[in-house]
Amino acid sequence: MRIFTTSLAVALLMSATAALAAKDTIVIGMQDEPPVLDPTQNAAAAIDVIFSVNVYESLVRIGEDGTVKPGLATSWTIGEDGKAYTFKLPKGVVFDNGEKLTSENVKWSFERAGSATSTNPTKRHFANIAAIETPDPETVILRLKAPSSLFLSYMASGGAAIFDPKSADNNKTTPVGTGPYKFKQWVKGDRVVLEKSPTYRDPSKAQIKQATFKFVPDAAAQVPALLAGDIDAFPTVGATETLDRFKADSRFQVVIGSTEGEVPLILNNNKKPFDDIRVRRAANHAIERKSIIDGATSGYGLPIGSHFPPHHPWYVDLTNRYPHDIAKAKELLKEAGYPNGVDVTIKPPPFAYARRSAEIVSAQLMEAGFRVKIEPVEWAQWLDVVYKQKNYDMTVVAHVSPWDQDNYTRGKDYYYGYQNPEMDALMKAVLAESNEAKQKDLYGQIQRKIADEAVHAFMFQLPRTGVYAAKLRGIWKNSPVSVTDLAGLSWVD
């Protein structure tokens, strides 16, 4: 018994001293694990959530307010004709493997991203680059074929990260970058660990010394992990019904914000029956958003009628484009040649918002005559079967990238399977446009076009439902881009 009490006292003492020292590590919970760790090889947003800004750096980055901020480049100028971008790089930047960064790295990275054999998910963004010049090690000039209003935003993406040629091929498993954090460990199926980089150009920047990203796909397991203190921050809690409980607990802060994640009921436009606009419109008339939002996000999501975030000033409310009308949906199905209904499957990935909205939306579609079979898939399966092989009828997933309306111009190569010359023309026009009023007008037309064509049945904008330890500071309320700004985080006593 004495041994027990002594060890108990020692344990208490140890935990007391541990509590006195300011905390300098953090465990961040995530629902999805990245399939690889290289954003230039895979489109999974989870890669950017962990590595962009922290380990890999692009020339510029998107700030919390959604505007373009300096990244690796300290400054930039855009030529009069909008076709020449000159970026200035800081001196003394080294990669985690000790290699020095020069303008040649930018040239090499972008040529790699845009090459014919490139598998970069943002490859199309580099097609507009006509030439890359490197007049000196700290200057890089990108010459474009045509002006592009989104080019600078594109340069902020993980796909435009600047790599070191010697380590680039291994970045899939052992990331090497220039950011304030360096990669330490990846335990597959469990966690990725980053630690403060000793070679970062501004040593005072990061306060958190070690960050662990822990993967907890099961919404029911996320809650006890937070309650037990195993996880300090969970920016996207799946079981939104538990948020009230966290709000009432002084150990936590609940931060609800917006994301760029439009969540449509995605329809495969390149496959029967959704290759027929009447069937797609029937699906649009069949869905009822309030129930989906309440049931899948506890009411936190905002309804959308097209592919555009509702918090943006250019948003056009198209939620009434297809009023909830079962009779109309049945009529459209009949017109399309399915008087007795039609068999379709839905393949939702394992995220709570996706699985739940899939279940509710399936029940709604059934009322209109669709015979829906739910086939839940794991995330890796989703990326392979749905996203890559395009073998699906319907699915549900959040599209978290900003300015991703160009997905509607990617034709049959993209898993939407949607192709329309008018849409291509609109997208081309908006990219070439530098006048903001005209851009707004064109984006309005794009939103209407997506809704008119009923490419998908748009449901809601994914809310950012974050639960954080009460003493954590520097949290992003909204996520205009899928990154975790570790260098901005700190603990208070």
Radius of gyration of the chain (CA): 24
Of the pair 341, 376, the CB lying nearest another protein is at 376
Smallest gap from residue 300 Cβ to another protein (A): 14
Of the pair 18, 228, the CB lying nearest another protein is at 228
Of the pair 117, 250, the CB lying nearest another protein is at 250
Of the pair 93, 467, the CB lying nearest another protein is at 467
Smallest gap from residue 245 Cβ to another protein (A): 6
Smallest gap from residue 291 Cβ to another protein (A): 4
The token duo for 70 is 């300096």
Of the pair 133, 343, the CB lying nearest another protein is at 343
For residues 119 and 41, is the Cβ–Cβ distance under 8 A? yes
Smallest gap from residue 372 Cβ to another protein (A): 8
For residues 362 and 409, is the Cβ–Cβ distance under 8 A? no
Smallest gap from residue 376 Cβ to another protein (A): 7
Of the pair 43, 374, the CB lying nearest another protein is at 374
For residues 169 and 181, is the Cβ–Cβ distance under 8 A? no
Of the pair 280, 356, the CB lying nearest another protein is at 356
Smallest gap from residue 383 Cβ to another protein (A): 17
Of the pair 88, 355, the CB lying nearest another protein is at 355
Of the pair 73, 243, the CB lying nearest another protein is at 243
The token duo for 453 is 């064509």
Of the pair 263, 486, the CB lying nearest another protein is at 263
Smallest gap from residue 363 Cβ to another protein (A): 4
Smallest gap from residue 216 Cβ to another protein (A): 13
Smallest gap from residue 302 Cβ to another protein (A): 16
Name the β-bridge partners of 263.
460
Residue 374 φ/ψ region, left for φ over 0, alpha for ψ in the -120 to 50 degree band, beta for the rest: beta
Smallest gap from residue 33 Cβ to another protein (A): 17
Q: Interface residues with another protein (CB under 8 A)?
A: 219-220, 223, 239, 241-242, 245, 290-292, 294-295, 356, 359-360, 362-364, 374-376
Of the pair 286, 489, the CB lying nearest another protein is at 286
Q: Which residues contact 80 (CB under 8 A, 6 or more apart)?
A: none
Of the pair 69, 290, the CB lying nearest another protein is at 290
For residues 192 and 50, is the Cβ–Cβ distance under 8 A? yes
Name the β-bridge partners of 215.
30
For residues 303 and 252, is the Cβ–Cβ distance under 8 A? no
Name the β-bridge partners of 446.
none
Of the pair 123, 371, the CB lying nearest another protein is at 371
Smallest gap from residue 396 Cβ to another protein (A): 13
The token duo for 19 is 């509590």
Smallest gap from residue 165 Cβ to another protein (A): 40
For residues 244 and 442, is the Cβ–Cβ distance under 8 A? no
Smallest gap from residue 212 Cβ to another protein (A): 24
